[in-house]
A and B are shown apart, each in its own frame.
Chain A
Amino acid sequence: MTGWSAKILPAGDAALVVELGSVIDAELNDAVHRLDAAINAAKPAGLIETVPTYRSILVLFDPVVAAAEDMGRACLDLAGALDRGRGATPSRRWRVPVAFGGAFGEDLPLVAAQSGLSEAAVVALHCRTDYRVYMLGFAPGFPYMGTLAPELRLPRRENPRLAVPAGSVIQGGQQAAIMPLEMPSGWHILGRTPVRLRDDRRAEPFLLAPGDVVRFAAMDPAELPALEARAAAGDPVATREDAS
């Protein structure tokens, strides 16, 4: 992916889509997050909120204040002014502790067997990959993260589990994620993090935002209960690793 171009797709009286492309691609997604930041910084009159995705931005606005045409033009102007260079906006980087394998990561042996690596090598590979939060969706706080090393990519389970515990670190296809709450999932479970993706006591209730970068760090599973207790008491447990 070398280039992208912005176009406006109509979406009713109170929304429009700024589409930059149609595929899952890190460079394209980086442009989405930079344009999303520009739109929210410029706050065109009538803007309510934006929903950045892999390759587009849904812009929700108040039709009493703004005509769709004017909002679309404002977004296109901002897209035109974006620096085409990659990575102009520094991402927030998070270090997320994970207890891999054992009772917390039932599928680690399967992932290891199918990729022809040892469990330790699978964990090491996950822990040295920068996972970009392409978008959030599916459930409140659920991060779609990528991209998995090619040797780790497996089809999802034939039989989805009906209840995957909150905090489970999972992988499906070329993506990784963390379960914000207990839910069904057909992805493979690698481990468990004590980090709470949502805590309404925080000024920003959701830990991960679109465009953030996550690094998993293997922790001693014996320490999980203690870290979970700290998380329950309001400690974010995850640490910011970028300068700000």
Chain B
Amino acid sequence: MNPALRVAAAGPYSTLQDCGRFGYQRFGVSPAGAFDPLRLAAANALVGNAPGTAAIEITMLGDTYEVMAHGARLALAGDFALQIDGTPAEPWRSHRLARGQKFKIGMAKRGLRGYVAVEGGFAVPPTLGSLSTHVRTGIGGFGGAKLKAGDLLPLSLGEAPERPALRLDPAAWASPSAELRVVFGPQDDYFTAEGRATLLAAEYEITREADRMGYRLSGPKIAHAKGFDIVSDGMPPGAVQIPGTGTPILLLVDRQSAGGYPKIATVISPDIAALAQKRPGDKLRFRSVDAREARHAALDFRGRIDGMARLAEPV
């Protein structure tokens, strides 16, 4: 039998994700991809994979997997309860499991999303160049859908070699800041000066309408200066869209490729990743940064992703 990971029990929203689907947004395809690329890189570093290798993104409650291979090396990046064959085990380190062993992930203790990487990756053919799953349109991943009990995820590696386990320091993954850095635009001129000031002064709360596509916020209304209809234009990652209700919707990894509401500002990419760990009820504030500071943060963020493998140390 081909090596596989059998999903013995599935969490509420587990999907295969890599660094996203590029080149098809012009055809109306969402980029999708890991919501938190830093934790994706961490899970991959622990099993010796390249940072953007496809892994399983879990949400709030993880899955249980049974190893159907001679041996598989798995790692969970995220503060979740974990058991191997009923015995408590540590996240943020690699584990080598033999055939028939079970890797059971429980509830998130902190944050919201975690990543399960397996050495060598999954032997799933890409759709439109990527393994990322976009559930709304049924594109990519494992059958275009969330994982479900009984799924057999084929593995590239039949037998993970024996070698020392690797770990990352869990203390380095403290809760992210409640502050989101934004660059004003593309349509900040559609709002009054007071509206722009409200965005920066007010505290917003994440509502229950929060998923990979977007987070709807509650809080003070932001006043439009010239209506809330624009002729559709492209949707940048992290767009802070203000519909007629006046309260922001943040457009995230599973966003549509274009939209017709004005966008007052754009959350920068490192802080989109931080949002992946925020839950409904969490509070947020926005801080405006200029292009120079935004790029500096992006360079720093990429440096952390690319340097992840160097931080993983033998147990």
Q: Which residues of A come within 8 Å of B, CB atoms?
A: 9-17, 19, 22-24, 48-58, 60, 63-64, 67-69, 135-142, 144, 181, 198, 200, 205-206, 209-210
Contacts and interface: CB of A to CB of B under 8 A. Distances in A.
Nearest to A67: B295
A181 to B, nearest CB: 8
A210 B26 contact: yes
B256 A14 contact: no
A141 B266 CA distance: 26
Interface string B13-25: 0000000001111
A54 B257 CA distance: 13
Interface of B: 22-29, 127-128, 137, 139, 182-187, 230-239, 256-258, 263, 266-269, 291, 294-295, 297-299, 302
Given A55-B233, A58-B235, A200-B128, A13 B25 contact: no
A11 B268 contact: no
B27 A53 contact: no
Contacts of B269: 12-14, 63
B230 A22 contact: yes
Overall SS of chain B's interface: mixed
Contact of A11 (B22, B139, B232, B239): B239
Contact of B27 (A9, A11, A16, A206): A206
5 contacts: A10-B183, A10-B266, A12-B238, A64-B302, A137-B258
A155 B150 CA distance: 47
Interface centre among B26, B182, B184, B187 (most CB of A within 10 A): B26
B135 to A, nearest CB: 13
B235 to A, nearest CB: 7
B236 A137 contact: no
B299 A64 contact: yes
Given A13-B269, A58-B234, A51 B183 contact: no
Contacts of B299: 63-64
Contact of B26 (A13, A52, A63, A138): A52
Given A49-B22, A137-B28, 17 more contacts: A9-B186, A10-B184, A12-B236, A13-B294, A14-B236, A14-B298, A17-B186, A48-B22, A49-B25, A51-B258, A53-B231, A56-B233, A58-B233, A63-B299, A67-B291, A136-B26, A198-B27
Nearest to A55: B231
Contacts of B257: 51, 136-137
Contact of A51 (B25, B128, B187, B291): B25
A48 B185 CA distance: 20
A32 to B, nearest CB: 10
A136 B297 CA distance: 32
A51 B234 contact: yes
Interface centre among A11, A136, A198, A200 (most CB of B within 10 A): A11
A11 B138 CA distance: 28
A48 B127 CA distance: 18
B236 A11 contact: yes
A86 to B, nearest CB: 20
Contacts of B230: 22
A54 B233 contact: yes
Given A12-B267, A48-B22, A51-B258, A17 B236 contact: yes
Contacts of A64: 298-299, 302
